[in-house]
Amino acid sequence: MSLPRFLTRDFFTSLADSINNANEKYFQEVHECQTPVKLLCLQQSCIADNKYLIETLDGSVPVEYKHTCLALVPLTPEGDRQLIGKVISFTQYKVAPTKSRYLVVLTRISVVPGDYRHLIGHLVPALIYHPRLAVVQDDNFKNTMTDLNSPVSGPVRKQENNRTVKTISNPYDPPMNKGKKDVPLTKISDLTLYTPKWQIRARVVFKSEIRKFNNQRGESQLFSVDLCDSNGEIRAVFFGESVNKWYSFLEEGQVYSISGGQLKPANKRYNNLKHSCELILDESSYIQLFQNDESIPSFCYSFTPLDQLQDIKSGETIDVIAIVVTARDLQKINNKATGNNVEKRDFLLCDSTNTTVWVTSWGQKTQLFNYEGDNSHPLVCLKGVKVGEWQGKKLDVQISTQVICEPVIPEALKLRKWWNENGHNINFKQETVKTNNNFFNKLCTISHIISSTNQGLQFKSIDSNGMVFTTRGLIEVLKDTNFCFPSCTGCRKKMSNDQGCWYCSKCNSSTNPIHLYILNIKIVDETSHIWASAMADVGESIMGIKAYNLINLMERGPSNENEKSFINYFEDARLTEYIFKIKATVENFMDEPRIKYRVLKATPLDRELDLAIKDRIENIKKLIP
């Protein structure tokens, strides 16, 4: 990964130097650039017509900082105003101090040809706002700057020696100026980045644990709460000293009146709620316990039936409610970052759509499922569970996922009734995730797959979830070398053999491996061909034998004349017709993007049945006048 070389280097650092030496007149002037300044746009947010707030990156090395600019965005060569992943050039700017940062107002803007959206996903999570472009807190623009990611301290008074000290007050006294009781109530769904004054009345539906972290100013801490009212939900985050003040005061299930905080765009890397904003609250925010308000729900869910998982992209978070059918044995995985063992367990869930899906849970949350054996079938609600994909759809419990067993809500009563009357009699297949009921619909040719993926590669429209196609094809070539690998039973990563002992570096364990297929096959139809990989269970369905047994057969040969040989298995798999479900993703090789195809499912085609169906269709056509 490399940035465009023509980005202007050290622009924001130079700007910080100018601000440091500036007087008030500097912020009233329009500044001309001797040469056009070029910045990469990371994110954008429309505030009015063609006026946008954009987060930008200059060409500084190392790549560490981003900064917010305001711009009147011109039309791009594509005819829209989408700047994410594009380089903008400008020759004039003005600096405007705001409450938190110096806003750079750009004029005389143009868009440089080129698209760098493939870099955004790698860059954004690691960047922080430029610390020297945070606003200062006194009239001389010389004092300590405020960081958006740290809370504003409590009431302060100025000393003659230019130091600031906190005044001591009752921890839960109303604030002196930030939060106000008399501000009208605002619905959570109506909160935006530009709501000037607000007060919400909300219930705490989730409170996280306190997390310690280190930044440029040393060690700090944070925690968050999820708040809901009758119209929506939003996350509030506390940093530094505000954690000590508010953590024990806020309790799950209680209703509070809250005002006097900062609204900022929700960090979707950590925040899975649907609201586009989140609250940053500190010691001077107004938080008052309110008598229980029955109009505010105890939970805020938007449940997704399990049979709709096939339509949801991997990486998205959803809410589900389901019955635990069974569970795999509890495993202990070594966390290389901490050196500690972490518990992991997989649970098979079902709901009234007769659909099953595996969910993976970690740590103490494995206990929240209350699963005590195959005779117990607890009902669980998962809020903010992540959708993944491994041989079909699966679910993953995250740190922020709420696991609630036997919730008292109408949906739970309805699902429990279904289970007691019908569900417990269904024999669910434990190794199959039923998430693709339309597998044979919308068959396309291989040439269509190639043209669609090439177009997606050209216009950078293939995201991390890839593109999925269903096609009918023939396995023309199936390589019989490097067809499998030794896999760890815990994490399924490749194991290494060290002096006759198998070792997994991820789990830090030595166990006997299981061998999984990694077939390399050439799929053809009448229009074209592609090379694709077929992993694990998909490879086994093509070969008709487990990988470990095939290795033994390769080493010892057939035990009798009736047993198929190693070569026979590959010959039988070749020239066999299948309905393939194929996923196309983009990977970078030597800094060059290329398409990679993987078979998600392969269903053998019954040739005689296929011919009989075609013959019947032809006969029916003859009868139609």
Asked whether the predicted pLDDT for residue 536 surpasses 80, the reply is: yes
Distance between CA 314 and CA 391 in Å, rounded?
A: 12
Helices (H), 21-83: none
Asked whether the predicted pLDDT for residue 433 surpasses 50, the reply is: no
The full length of the chain comes to 625
Q: Are 269 and 125 in contact (CB under 8 A)?
A: yes
Distance between CA 265 and CA 44 in Å, rounded?
A: 11
Position 611 confidence tier, pLDDT thresholds 50, 70, 90: low
pLDDT at position 48 is 67
AA identity, residue 453? T
Distance between CA 92 and CA 336 in Å, rounded?
A: 50
- Bridge partners, 345 (sequence order): 361
Asked whether the predicted pLDDT for residue 209 surpasses 50, the reply is: yes
AA identity, residue 145? M
Share of residues in the chain with pLDDT > 90 (%): 24
Q: Domain spans of the chain? A: 9-18+34-121, 188-289, 306-425, 446-622
Tokens of 434: 């039923």
pLDDT tens digits, one per residue of 391-416: 678 898 988 788 888 888 889 999 99
Average pLDDT over residues 210-238: 89
Q: Are 173 and 186 in contact (CB under 8 A)?
A: no
Comparing CA positions, the residue from 333, 295, 623 lying closest to residue 492 is 333
- Bridge partners, 240 (sequence order): none
Position 169 confidence tier, pLDDT thresholds 50, 70, 90: very low
Distance between CA 341 and CA 228 in Å, rounded?
A: 35
Asked whether the predicted pLDDT for residue 338 surpasses 80, the reply is: no
pLDDT tens digits, one per residue of 316-334: 889 999 999 988 888 887 7
Position 270 confidence tier, pLDDT thresholds 50, 70, 90: confident
pLDDT at position 429 is 56
Evaluate the omega torsion of the peptide bond into residue 174 and state whether it is cis, within 30 degrees of 0: no
Q: Are 278 and 260 in contact (CB under 8 A)?
A: no
Q: Is 356 exposed, middle or buried (0-12, 13-18, 19+ CB in 10 A)?
A: buried
Angle between helices 547-556 and 536-543 (to 10 degrees): 50
Asked whether the predicted pLDDT for residue 434 surpasses 60, the reply is: no
Tokens of 583: 């996923």
15-19, 232-236, 463-467, range with greatest mean pLDDT:
232-236
In sequence order, what E strands does 270-350 have?
277-281, 286-290, 317-327, 331-334, 341-350
Q: Are 196 and 180 in contact (CB under 8 A)?
A: no
Q: Are 250 and 236 in contact (CB under 8 A)?
A: no
Asked whether the predicted pLDDT for residue 438 surpasses 70, the reply is: no
pLDDT at position 83 is 84
Tokens of 205: 């539906």
Q: State CA 415 to chain mean position distance.
A: 29
Evaluate the omega torsion of the peptide bond into residue 62 and state whether it is cis, within 30 degrees of 0: yes
AA identity, residue 141? F
AA identity, residue 410? P
- Bridge partners, 350 (sequence order): 323, 356
Distance between CA 222 and CA 237 in Å, rounded?
A: 7
Sign (positive or negative) of CA dihedral 124, 47, 222, 96: positive
Tokens of 114: 């080129």
Tokens of 531: 């090379």
Sign (positive or negative) of CA dihedral 320, 321, 325, 331: positive
Tokens of 500: 């006759």
pLDDT at position 335 is 67
Asked whether the predicted pLDDT for residue 95 surpasses 50, the reply is: yes
- End-to-end distance of the chain based on CA atoms, in angstroms? 63
pLDDT at position 321 is 95
pLDDT tens digits, one per residue of 102-130: 889 998 888 888 888 877 776 777 788 88
Tokens of 191: 């909160």
The distance between the two most distant Cα atoms of the chain, rounded to a whole number of Å, is 102
Position 153 confidence tier, pLDDT thresholds 50, 70, 90: very low
113-122, 162-171, 181-190, 417-426, range with greatest mean pLDDT:
417-426
Please state which architecture CATH assigns to domain 446-622: Beta Barrel (2.40)
| CATH class held by domain 188-289 | mainly beta
- Bridge partners, 102 (sequence order): 97
Tokens of 522: 């050439």
* E strand or H helix at 449: helix 446-458
Angle between helices 536-543 and 566-573 (to 10 degrees): 100
pLDDT tens digits, one per residue of 180-198: 556 688 999 888 887 878 9
**Site of tokens 């500097």:** 26
Comparing CA positions, the residue from 145, 281, 265, 143 lying closest to residue 200 is 281
CA distances (Å), 267 to each of 264, 274, 465, in order? 9, 11, 20
Distance between CA 585 and CA 465 in Å, rounded?
A: 7
Position 294 confidence tier, pLDDT thresholds 50, 70, 90: confident
Comparing CA positions, the residue from 407, 185, 224 lying closest to residue 300 is 407
pLDDT at position 604 is 85
Share of residues in the chain with pLDDT > 70 (%): 85
Is-same-fold flag (188-289; 306-425)? Answer: yes
Tokens of 584: 């196309």
Asked whether the predicted pLDDT for residue 363 surpasses 60, the reply is: yes
pLDDT at position 275 is 87
pLDDT at position 518 is 93
Q: Which fold has domain 306-425?
A: OB fold (Dihydrolipoamide Acetyltransferase, E2P) (2.40.50)
pTM of the full structure: 0.46
CB burial readout 148-179, b (16+ within 10 A) else e: bbbbbbbeeeeeeeeeeeeeeeeeeeebeebb
Distance between CA 150 and CA 348 in Å, rounded?
A: 41
Distance between CA 63 and CA 55 in Å, rounded?
A: 14
Question: Mean pLDDT, the chain, as a whole number?
Answer: 81
pLDDT at position 154 is 36
Of 96-100, 345-349, 359-363, 403-407, minimum mean pLDDT range: 96-100
